[in-house]
Structure 1
């Protein structure tokens, strides 16, 4: 067999191995996506808010709406004042909207419905991050690279070797002291 044929065979084997790794990675990706969709559906099914959370949430949104309507009324009043010749600072308009936005957001964000929704969102995002991390580590492993677990294991072994080396050095120092 010539060197060229051997190189072609090695290249073909390497390409086939890489193709297998990509196929395995895609299969795992599909499984992870299916698991995510299933867990999301379960979370939505389990997370239907209770009646008191819904009514409290609606009450918060109603108060926020009232804040916006009050702000709109104040804007109309100040615009009318300006139209009648009163000196109205443009910063006053900005301040009205900023103040009403702050108050409206307080009304909405202080509800248990908002807190529950945020909690569910954070939990879902953390689960997705965990799944993505596991998938990336699996893909890296299949491509033949060192994973985080591999590096952690090497680090633990290195620390253990350093500890043992230090113990041996201490024993050698003791032996040398006795010899002197």
Structure 2
């Protein structure tokens, strides 16, 4: 606000302009975040090449998410207007509007079969990478002359077999001793 202004109406108008600018900036930032999310989602969907029905459902989910964001923008405008008219609007209420709409929008997109298919492919790729990394690790450990996971598993299996055989021998001995 300007310190040199003597007219309270000028101060009021400047405060409203600052508030409008802040709301506009907030809406712009949220729209940029939404666009970035949808761009990354579209990249994932594009890479996975979903079937036509999955793609259609994915776009429907995006449209529902877009509606959620637009409803949030409407609520923000209403609450900003209420604040400009003198109503006490808590900053937490403004934050909650955006947080709730973000959760709802993500649910709309993440609940689609296209998103599930893309995630399934991502998980499969990650598991393949983990398997390859495990193989490299096992090869490295073996080259260092240390026992690998496979070696330890084999020893464990042999121990279990020995315990089973020992138990069988003990039972046979018990039967022999009972007959004596």
> Normalising by structure 1, what TM-score?
0.67
2:138 match: 137
| Offset at residue 105 of structure 1 (A) | 1.3
> In the aligned structure 2, how far is the partner of 1:52 from the partner of 1:166?
59
> In the aligned structure 2, how far is the partner of 1:87 from the partner of 1:163?
76
For structure 1, the 5+ residue unaligned runs are 1-43
1:89 aligns with 2:90: yes
| Offset at residue 45 of structure 1 (A) | 9.7
| Offset at residue 113 of structure 1 (A) | 1.2
1:122-161 pair list within 5 angstroms? 122-161=123-162
Runs of 4+ off more than 6 Å: none
| Offset at residue 94 of structure 1 (A) | 2.4
Equivalent pairs counted in the alignment come to 136
If asked which structure has higher relative contact order (CA below 8 Å, sep 6+), I would say: 1
> Normalising by structure 2, what TM-score?
0.67
Aligned to 2:167, the other structure's residue is in SS state helix
| Offset at residue 59 of structure 1 (A) | 2.5
Q: After superposing the two structures, state which structure 1 stretch, 105-114 or 91-100, moved more.
A: 91-100
1:165 match: 166
Q: Deviations over 1:70-124 (max 9, x none)?
A: 2122112211211211122333212211221122112211222111101111111
Q: Deviations over 1:125-163 (max 9, x none)?
A: 111111111111111111111011111111111111122
RMSD over aligned Cα, in angstroms?
A: 2.2
For structure 2, the 5+ residue unaligned runs are 1-44
